Amino acid sequence: MDAEEHKLPLSQNPEWADVTPIPQDDGSNPVVPIAYKPEFIETMDYFRAVYKANEFSPRALQLTHQAILLNPGNYTVWHFRRLILDAMGIDLNEELDFMSGISENNPKNYQIWHHRRWIAEKLGADVASKELDFTERMLFLDAKNYHAWSYRQWVLQALGGWENELNYCHQLLEEDVFNNSAWNQRYFVVSGSPLLGGLEAMRESEVKYTVEAILRCPENESPWRYLRGLYKNDPKSWISDPQVSSVCLKVLSAKANHVFALSTLLDLLSHGFQANQEFRDAVDSLRPSNSDPPDSDLAKTICSILQHVDSMRVNYWTWRKSKLPLSV
Amino acid sequence: MGELVVDKHVKYILSVEKRKDSFESVVLEHLRMNGVYWGLTTLDLLGKLDALDSNEVIQWIMKCQHESGGFAGNIGHDPHLLYTLSAVQVLALFDKLNVLDADRVANYISGLQNVDGSFSGDEWGEVDTRFSYLAICCLSILHRLDKMNVEKAVNYIVSCKNVDGGFGCTPGGESHAGQIFCCVGALAITGSLHHVDKDLLGWWLCERQVKSGGLNGRPEKLPDVCYSWWVLSSLIMIDRVHWINKDKLVKFILNCQDTENGGISDRPEDAVDVFHTYFGVAGLSLLEYPGLKAIDPAHALPVDVVNRIFFQK
């Protein structure tokens, strides 16, 4: 049955003659009164009637379909639909197909994603690849859709399908290296995939990958934070890994988009990194002509530059400067 | 730039009813309780809560309560944590928490806590750190935090912390300013802010300010007035709000006003709605804009209301 077949208003449809619609009670003098369209009013009046009567029937299921099309955010309609699906033992694969059409028009609707998860949970591992494909289609429309990512993480953890996930992250980052959601997913995979051996095992290849991404667009916040994350709970390796300090140096020497390189170098210095003359020269050459004279303390010089080039956050950099240990 | 057009915003909120058959009104039907909270909290911040008959609001709210103790978004709908907190907040605005059977509401909320400490939003089980905040904030207002397992709830929230210092909706979820507000707010209310890496998170949050002065919710996303609330309140709770450029943010919010008909939109020149009007005014209140009541960043209620809840009993 299709919603289009129901051209007759419910009040004139013989199939519904035995049901007495229940009107919405908005209270006596509502504070935020709502103007409803006639079709909406009628559908919801009949919905309230079948809902109250706990009617688990094909026509009630069809009615929830109509109500969902009118307002897919109505969580009570979705609840009732699940009760009907359960009671009638309907093939949930069909329900998944029904969902796909609605999802594409409402990509950020909590109820739709939750309903989908309820179905997939019941269908189990068999639908893992189908569900991963589905989120890929949704992420093709909006690569940062929070609901789609959250659902995808759930599918991976609950139903499996990790095999191609790192590749998928790579593919998205090739399309848009600024996609923070894809970087987050990459971290999720690298640190959590049962197939990859964990963060430490993956560190070397990931650092290489990240350094390349940084050099492509050094103004990109995400890979800088990702790089730091690869050394989670291991600041010693972070400071001593020459790949980290050298990517800072390379970006500084290129003299463009160097805010994150400076801030990373500042973090390294604050954690005990010893910078050689090459770093000092690279930083010195970035000092704006009207800034303070170079300080023997490299970290202080970096803060002065950042106060200048990232003036929106001047108070943050001033605070960072004030927290530096006194130079000897 | 101009100033905050207070009278126009009051008029806008009171006149939402006159916008007949708009698409917005239909899709808001099921979450009317949130709409009432956004509208009335804004009126209170603007000093105009008395423009409404509180009795009628309260009667309607109580009709939305389900036998389980939870509240629905409208009469005849199912209860959900989202609407339960809004209902309790609006009753608090009117100093009418005494009409509630607090234990009954608290039982509904604590019944939604899962074994791992997380909360579901309703009986259907969707889990999200948003629900942890809703539960904790609501139980706090009701003086019933002892009804839930605070330690486990805190541990779950901490498990959603990311390497950038932010928080996501579930463990591994991307940091998002809205989720950060929920997690930091819940940790603040339960006295657990020591779990937050304040300097790292503070920097991530102030990186959300873009050239126009507005704030976004994630890297490389567009600014939106709603983040004036999510980001600012989080920064205040971790005592780092001075790291952003306040003047530029004030200008951005004021530029999102409809100076003719009232209301605030997500970005300059867009259509206004009650949701963004609330977040704009609440953001300005956090920025100490003159003439507005102060708002509590954790409970999302005017400070005088929060003081009444916690210091007058």
Tell me if B111 sits within 8 A of B102, measured CB to CB. no
Mean pLDDT of chain B: 94
Strands (E), chain A: none
Can you state the angle between helices A146-159 and A180-192, rounded to 10 degrees?
Answer: 10
Nearest Cβ partner of B80 from A35, A75, A229?
A75
Query: Quick one: pLDDT at residue A2?
Result: 47
pLDDT average, residue stretch B80-87: 97
Catalytic residue among A7, A37, A52, A108: A108
Q: pLDDT tier at B8 (50, 70, 90 boundaries)?
A: very high
Instruction: Quote the mean pLDDT of chain A.
Output: 92
Tokens of B81: 């944590």
Give the Cα separation of B23 and B12 in Å (integer).
Answer: 17
Q: Out of A125-134, A289-298, B177-186, pick the least confident.
A: A289-298
pLDDT of residue B25: 56
* Closest chain B C-alpha to A178 CA, distance in angstroms: 7
Q: What pLDDT score does A138 carry?
A: 95
pLDDT band at B15; cut points 50, 70, 90: confident
Answer yes or no: are the C-beta atoms of A117 and A151 closer than 8 Å: yes
Say if residues A214 and A247 touch (Cβ distance below 8 Å): yes
Look at A282 and A40; give whichever has higher pLDDT.
A282
Answer whether A318's CB lies under 8 Å from A307's CB.
yes
Q: Collapsing DSSP states into helix, strand and coil, what is residue A71?
A: coil
| pLDDT higher than 60, residue A292 | yes
Residues 117-136 of B with CB under 8 A from A: 122, 124, 126
How buried is A40 (Cβ within 10 angstroms: 0-12 exposed, 13-18 middle, 19+ buried)? buried
Residue in chain B closest to A26 (alpha carbons) equals B75
**According to the model, what pLDDT value does residue B6 have?**
97
pLDDT surpassing 50 at residue A235: yes
A31 part of contact set with chain B, CB < 8 Å: yes
**pLDDT at B20 (0 to 100):** 42
Residue B274 near residue B38, CB atoms below 8 Å: yes
pLDDT band at A36 (very low <50, low <70, confident <90, very high): low
Residue of A nearest to B221 (CA): A144
* A-B contacts at Cβ under 8 angstroms: 159
Residues of A in Cβ contact (< 8 Å) with B248: 312
Q: What is the pLDDT of residue B18?
A: 46
In chain A, which among 255-294 make CB contacts under 8 A with chain B?
A: none
So what CATH class is A1-90? Answer: mainly alpha
Sign of the CA dihedral running A298, A299, A302, A304: negative
**B255-310: pLDDT as tens digits:** 999 999 999 999 999 999 999 999 999 999 999 999 999 999 999 999 999 999 99
pLDDT in tens, A152-175: 999 999 999 999 999 999 999 999
Residue at token pair 């389900």: B66
pLDDT number for residue A68: 93
Residue A324 pLDDT class (50, 70, 90 cuts): very high
What residue spans define the domains of chain B? 6-311
Cross-chain CB nearest to A34 (options B29, B122, B174): B29
| Mean predicted confidence (pLDDT) in A281-294 | 84
Say whether residue A110 is in contact with chain B using an 8 A CB cutoff: yes
Which residues from B are below 8 Å from A48, CB to CB?
76
Nearest Cα neighbor of B238 from A307, A316, A229 is A316
Q: What is the pLDDT of residue B21?
A: 44
- What is the number of other CB atoms lying within 10 angstroms of the CB of residue A198? 12
Average pLDDT over residues A9-25: 90
Q: What is the DSSP string of A240-263?
A: H-HHHHHHHHHHHHHTSS-HHHHH
Q: Which positions ≥6 away from A38 have C-beta within 8 Å?
A: none
Domain with CATH 1.25.40 in chain A: 1-90
Enter the CATH code of domain B6-311: 1.50.10.20
Check pLDDT > 50 for residue A1.
no
CB contact under 8 A, A74 and B30: yes
Mean pLDDT of B139-146: 98
What average pLDDT score do residues A43-50 get?
Answer: 94
**Is B60 in Cβ contact with A27 (below 8 Å)?**
yes
pLDDT for residue B26 is more than 60? no
3 state DSSP class of B163: coil
A108 has catalytic annotation:
yes
Residue with tokens 């074994």, as numbered in its chain: B115
With CB atoms and an 8 Å threshold, state whether B174 touches A30: no
Whether residue A24 and residue B75 make contact (CB cut-off 8 A), yes or no, is: yes
**Dihedral of CA B90/B93/B96/B98: which sign?**
positive
